[in-house]
Structure 1
Amino acid sequence: MNKTRRPTGYADRHLDCQFALEDRFLEIMDDAERSGWSPRDAAMAIVDLADNYVLKLLANDETDRQIREAMDRARAAKP
């Protein structure tokens, strides 16, 4: 898999990531078809998995934020 050109924020980063993942994605799609899944079924499952993964990342970020706020409040309440 191709590595990112820079660690963060450049204009084509999202597109570069798609290109980096494309070969493996097509392998997964081929494997799914060979296993009897339709391309539509496999693609929809991948979309749902990606959506659930993003929701997990967002939930983890929110939990981390809440923990930081609680720790800040606890530190501020110490005499």
Structure 2
Amino acid sequence: MDTPRAPGNYPDREVDCQMALEPAFQAVIDEAVGTGWERSEVLIALYEIGLAIASAEEENGHVSNILRKAFKSPPRLGG
């Protein structure tokens, strides 16, 4: 798999990432279709998996921020 052309953010980094991932992505699609899944099913499933992973990571980041703030705050005494 190709690496980013430069460290950090740069123009077209997202496009470079897509191009780097495409061969492996296509191989997964081809393998799934070869086992009997319809191409459209595979594409929808991969899309939904991507959304689920992104959502989970976003939620994990949100929970991490809450926990980080909670542990930075002094404990509350009393009610």
- Same fold at TM > 0.5: yes
Post-superposition CA distance 1:12-58 (Å, at most 9, x none): 11000000000001101110110111110000000000000000110
Segments of 4+ moved more than 6 angstroms: none
Please give the secondary structure, in 2, of the residue aligned with 1:56: helix
Q: Aligned partner of 1:62: which letter?
A: H
Q: Aligned partner of 1:56: which letter?
A: A
Q: Check if 1:27 corresponds to 2:27.
A: yes
Unmatched 5+ stretches in structure 1: none
Match of 2:71 in 1: 71
| Whole-angstrom distance in 2 between the partners of 1:31 and 1:41 | 13
| Whole-angstrom distance in 2 between the partners of 1:46 and 1:27 | 12
Match of 1:62 in 2: 62
Unmatched 5+ stretches in structure 2: none
Structure number having the greater helix percentage: 1
Counting aligned pairs with the same residue, the percent is: 28
Match of 1:3 in 2: 3
Match of 1:16 in 2: 16
After superposition, the CA RMSD in angstroms is: 1.4
Q: TM-score, with normalisation over the residues of structure 1? A: 0.88
Q: TM-score, with normalisation over the residues of structure 2? A: 0.88
